[in-house]
Structure 1
């Protein structure tokens, strides 16, 4: 299941409603770290730890839905992960295919919940069959708007920024934009996350205190919570504690929000439309191969 429907106790629902009385982050990002260590701790194969990790994601999406969080971004597979053993990488690709096939089986439920799935990353690095299933899921859910799930797959922030810079340079070479049009707003709009607001809250599990090349541009003013728990052991109370921390820090976060609006020319807007159409055509191509 992509989003489980496990029953919540009255006390859990009560606590969720208490937290919802405060400001709830609209966009939460997760670095789901600790699957392999969980497997070692539980005397499992490493690959079984990744299955437990996906199950935890399904639960966490339900909790986010209950809290009213509108957008979730998860770090599912880094480009750096290709350096792991062939056995583990192959298994992760098979697991991805299995879960995206499952998504098609659960189409009615996904559509009823209004979940829009976006996959951010360098999809050219993925096997063709994996890419095809991902593209089909993206196309199938593109018009949903109740909960946005962004899956960072074959992703690093450095690759994302490099791709954005290349697209901007290409736009200048083609005369679609001028060098003077390049600014922070344009760079943000050329990233894989161009249709998302920056995360309000980033949660990393496993006790590691680093970002691992995840959303480095987008988290410039994001509240960060490092949870001392392996991802498969993450629970509702960890999520509520993270949201509560965000609420306590909200006033400080707001101090650094930009107040000056950057106006963009019609030329820039047409360039951004061109990029969107190019990306959509690429997804359509992946789905047909």
Structure 2
């Protein structure tokens, strides 16, 4: 089954979609695709069949999202916690993932036609090497596409992601790329696996569970959270419309909270920069007073140098991550 399905909505779906699109629409939607195993039990089929049906539903949901002008989707495909399941089930999920990414590589022309960029967020080192190599080829092959984005969280938990971001910042300080005073919640956001994506506007979890299960904890602080009782393989276009409607009803309060958060971040950064400038002036001026204009100019220069320093550090991180995927592709080519 193709990752990107062709086809338009039917007449009733198109009418409903146009009505929805008259209001504020989420640009980025995240899914916790829960209920595959319960679906398998309900249908009296093997667990692997439930997971396979879950993938088919993802392909269908991506088509709906494209028709609704939702151009970024993030899905929770495999948690690090899932490694605790039976070896048979984990091996089956790894094999299913391998098959689907191989299939994706066979669809390069279709992905290029739609401009689909595939990103895999998670700790790749936890995966079998052959799967790492196939994933790397898919990521590199679609890296330049920029019309729509599919972020697959695989071997992922949010706590692991945040801990990794902290390690990245500590490494940057150790290497002299950034200063300890440059560390902030905004910089941490830029060090997450999801650094290239805006935070989700809407997060949807299926199966009736009302918890996030360590998914995008940092990124969804100001997102609309919708919990639906339907099992993932049974998800419908109308379930998606219902979730979007809930987002629209919450839109104003979400935007207000996001605005206040941005203001708070800016204020905290300004206070931090002012403190650093004060310390620098005291050190350089031997206690001599500096007038307001001098302080303002020193603050401007310090802010510019901090921003340049941080951007250079982020460029190094991006290069390091790009090289990781490139090396995996090279290994695959040699093999």
Matches of 2:169 and 2:26 in 1, distance apart?
Answer: 31
Deviation at 1:259, TM superposition (A): 3.5
Residues 131, 287 of structure 1: 8 Å contact kept: no
Task: Tell me the equivalent position of 2:196.
Answer: 195
1:121 aligns with 2:163: no
Runs of 4+ aligned structure 1 residues displaced above 6 Å come to none
Task: Figure out how many residues of one structure are paired with residues of the other and give that number.
Answer: 289
Shift of 1:5: 2.4
Q: Which residue of 2 aligns with 1:239?
A: 240
CA–CA separation in structure 2 for the residues paired with 1:140 and 1:21 = 35
Cα deviation code 1:75-103 (max 9, x no counterpart): 00000011111111111111111001111
Q: How many angstroms apart in 2 are the aligned matches of 1:259 and 1:31?
A: 27
The alpha carbon displacement at 1:6 in A equals 4.5
Partner of 1:76: 77
Q: Which runs of 5+ in 2 are unaligned?
A: 270-302
Aligned to 1:10: 11
Q: Deviations over 1:42-77 (max 9, x none)?
A: 000011000000000000000000000121000000
CA distance in 1, matches of 2:164, 2:328: 18
1:43-192 correspondence runs (5 A): 43-192=44-193
Give 1:7 deviation, angstroms.
Answer: 4.8
The whole-number CA distance in structure 2 between the counterparts of 1:288 and 1:130 is 14
- Aligned residues of 2:9 and 2:64 also touching (Cα < 8 A): no
Q: Give the TM-score taking structure 1 as reference length.
A: 0.98
Question: What is the Cα deviation at residue 230 of structure 1?
Answer: 0.3
Query: SS of 2:6's equivalent?
Result: coil
How many Å apart are 1:22 and its aligned residue?
Answer: 1.0
Normalised TM-score (structure 2): 0.85
Instruction: Deviation per CA, 1:214-241: give whole Å up to 9, x if none.
Output: 0000000000000110000100000001
Could you say what secondary structure the match of 1:149 adopts? strand
The CA distance in 2 between the partners of 1:278 and 1:104, in whole Å, is 24
Cα distance in 2 for partners of 1:115, 1:269 equals: 26
2-structure distance, mates of 1:6, 1:50: 24
Distance in 2 (alpha carbons) for counterparts of 1:276 and 1:119: 14
| Contact persistence 2:9–2:67 (CA under 8 A) | no
Q: In the aligned structure 1, how far is the partner of 2:206 from the partner of 2:329?
A: 33
C-alpha distance in 2, partners of 1:178/1:104?
41
Equivalent-residue separation in structure 2 for 1:70 and 1:197 (angstroms): 11
Partner of 1:222: 223
Partner of 1:270: 312
Counterpart in the other structure of 2:213? 212
Structure with the largest fraction of helix: 2
Quick check: 1:116–1:148 contact (8 Å CA) kept in 2?
A: yes
Q: Any unmatched runs of 5+ in structure 1?
A: none
Higher mean Cα deviation, 262-271 or 75-84? Answer: 262-271
Secondary structure in 1 aligned to 2:203?
Answer: strand
1:111 and 1:265 map into 2 onto residues whose CA distance is 34
Bigger relative contact order, structure 1 or 2 (CA pairs below 8 A, ≥6 apart): 1
Structure 1 residue matching 2:178: 3-state secondary structure: coil
Matched residues in 2 for 1:121 and 1:6: separation?
31
Residues in 2 aligned to 1:173 and 1:11: alpha-carbon distance in whole angstroms: 59
Q: Distance in 2 between matches of 1:6 and 1:232?
A: 19
SS of equivalent residue, structure 2 residue 326? helix
Structure 2 residue aligned with 1:255: 256
Provide the residue aligned with 2:282 in structure 1: none
